[in-house]
Structure 1
Amino acid sequence: MDTAPPPIAPHATLPRHYADDGERDRYVQALFDGGAASYDRINAIFSLGTGARYRRDALKRAGLAPGKRLLDVATGTGLVAREAVRILGRPEDVVGLDLSAGMLREARASLPNPLVQARAEALPLADASVDLVSMGYALRHVPDLVGTFREYHRVLRPGGRVLLLEIDQPASPVALAAVRFYLGRVVPGLSRIIGRGERDSRMMRYFWDTIDACVPPETITAALAEAGFADVGCDVQLGIFRAYGALRP
């Protein structure tokens, strides 16, 4: 009898944050629920250039245009969804989805589009119902890359695309040391001051630790291909900002 292959996690267990993979979902949900109120303020200061224009340009390069429908997975406070609404002109054509009730509460305060609380690997959408699936800087929080990508493939219409924005480690050892110091120490330290103390500092430490432990880009592109996507590619800017793209045949 054939057995299902083991899940491909985006990173190994992080004992600094949770004891085992069974605790990861609860930990991540509580972390982002608690940090939601400060997230936009922290992101605006420490985005390293990945602001509204970067997100908007990435969506346009992925083919988002008026008349299409977008699903923004792990929408958070709505940073990607907000740019999608500006492109499409119709809030009802942008569906934001997140596991964190706290993040969705913040998003609802400023966004008019539909928002849904659900998991990336269990999307409550019909087959072939959207033209683009986006995910901004949250790929490292899912339990299984291939399983998640298969859900994206299912809800996309033929010819639709997936866009995954991520931060990666730079190839240069010197650049890696600088980024590790900045994102791993400076950002968590300042987040404690400009945010809500240790809770927000811990959220940003987790943010970096997942980047530091993340599987290489080749594993992500291979998982997209295994899930049935074609034309898999990755655009890299400044050595650390990656925009993975793929086509649903």
Structure 2
Amino acid sequence: MPETAWQAPQLATNPHECSDKAARVKAMFAAIAKSYDLNNRVHSFGLDQRWRRATVRIAKVMATDDVVDVACGTGDLAEAFLCAGVRSVRGVDFTPEMLEVAREKSERTRPNATLRVEYKEGDATALDLPDACADIVSIAFGIRNVGNTPQALREFFRILRPNGRLVILEFAQPSNPIIRAANRFYTHRIMPSTATWLSRDKSGAYRYLPRSVETYLDRDALAQEVRGAGFVDVTQKTLTFGTCAVTRAIKR
């Protein structure tokens, strides 16, 4: 994989149709792991953590819940679930560099914790976990990046227990045309340049980001894919003027 994971030819079309999308995504996250949290806070104006806390609330956690956070990255959502008082949390990601940041951050921010997130390397489309091992499966800003969305959703269904909950936090296209235009200007014209500068990134990550959002499934199509994997009671809640949304579903 070249140093630049995403170049103009891939982004001129649909990056989700690249046959080596998974390898490109992995290389991209390896390149930006160290600056990932900083860019998230700066370019979401601090809202990204609020979105994650909203996702935890929407999951309706209980003290007996075992959580698997897929595409956990640097661990922000996994740690939010842990702070909510669940029984256990496992964070799974296929980029070792992101997991390294997650583990370091956990040890630094919770040095005396008796319960920690268990971080492990793994692929969303082929989880090395037993059937029916989780009460909640979560994924934040990751479903768009997996190599095969239907296969990942089937894996989520497989590892959930009956009555388990799936929660997906992902960027969305605002329905209000004025907000949509403003959001597009920011994500296409401003954020790619400032985020690339801040991270000194050469992978193309922050030019891939807006392109991957606009070419991915819209909310209705994602809900349909979730139902197609066997889930029921699919609901969606938009956040911050529709710039992102949480999809929640149940395994019966």
* Percent pairwise identity: 30
Q: For residues 92-241 of structure 1, what are the structure 2 equivalents within 5 Å? A: 93-111=88-106, 112-199=116-203, 202-237=204-239, 238-241=241-244
Query: Any idea what the Cα deviations from partners look like across 1:91-112, whole Å, max 9, x if unmatched?
Result: xx11001111111111111124
Q: Report the secondary structure of 2:237's partner residue.
A: strand
Query: Any idea what the Cα deviations from partners look like across 1:3-47, whole Å, max 9, x if unmatched?
Result: xxxxxxxxxx74569696222111111000010000000001112
Query: Any idea what the Cα deviations from partners look like across 1:178-205, whole Å, max 9, x if unmatched?
Result: 1111112211111133222444xx2111
Q: Report the secondary structure of 2:84's partner residue.
A: helix
Distance 2:53 2:68 in 1: 15
Show the counterpart of 1:52: 49
Indicate whether 1:245 and 2:242 are aligned: no
Which among 16, 29, 33 is matched to residue 30 of structure 2?
33
Distance 1:54 1:139 in 2: 16
Equivalent residue pairs, number:
233
Q: Report the secondary structure of 1:33's partner residue.
A: helix
Distance 2:224 2:14 in 1: 28
Show the counterpart of 1:65: 62
Q: Which moved more, 1:42-51 or 1:107-116?
A: 42-51
Q: Which moved more, 1:162-171 or 1:186-195?
A: 186-195
One-letter amino acid matched to 1:233: T
One-letter amino acid matched to 1:191: A
Q: Are the structure 2 counterparts of residues 73 and 21 from structure 1 closer, same or farther at C-alpha, using a change threshold of 3 Å?
A: same
Show the counterpart of 2:112: none
Distance 1:100 1:108 in 2: 13
One-letter amino acid matched to 2:74: T
Gaps of 5+ in 1: 1-12
Distance 1:182 1:143 in 2: 27
Show the counterpart of 1:75: 72
Q: Report the secondary structure of 1:115's partner residue.
A: strand
TM-score, normalising length: structure 1 = 0.87
One-letter amino acid matched to 1:61: I
Q: Report the secondary structure of 1:243's partner residue.
A: strand
Q: Report the secondary structure of 2:20's partner residue.
A: helix
How far off is 1:165 after superposition? Answer: 0.2
Show the counterpart of 1:3: none
Contact 1:96–1:113, Cα closer than 8 Å, also in 2: yes
Q: Are the structure 2 counterparts of residues 125 and 19 from structure 1 closer, same or farther at C-alpha, using a change threshold of 3 Å?
A: closer
Q: Report the secondary structure of 1:179's partner residue.
A: helix
Q: Are the structure 2 counterparts of residues 40 and 17 from structure 1 closer, same or farther at C-alpha, using a change threshold of 3 Å?
A: farther
How far off is 1:235 after superposition? Answer: 0.6
Show the counterpart of 2:6: none
How far off is 1:174 after superposition? Answer: 2.6
Query: Any idea what the Cα deviations from partners look like across 1:153-189, whole Å, max 9, x if unmatched?
Result: 1100101000000111112333222111111221111
Query: Any idea what the Cα deviations from partners look like across 1:38-63, whole Å, max 9, x if unmatched?
Result: 00000011125533233123212212
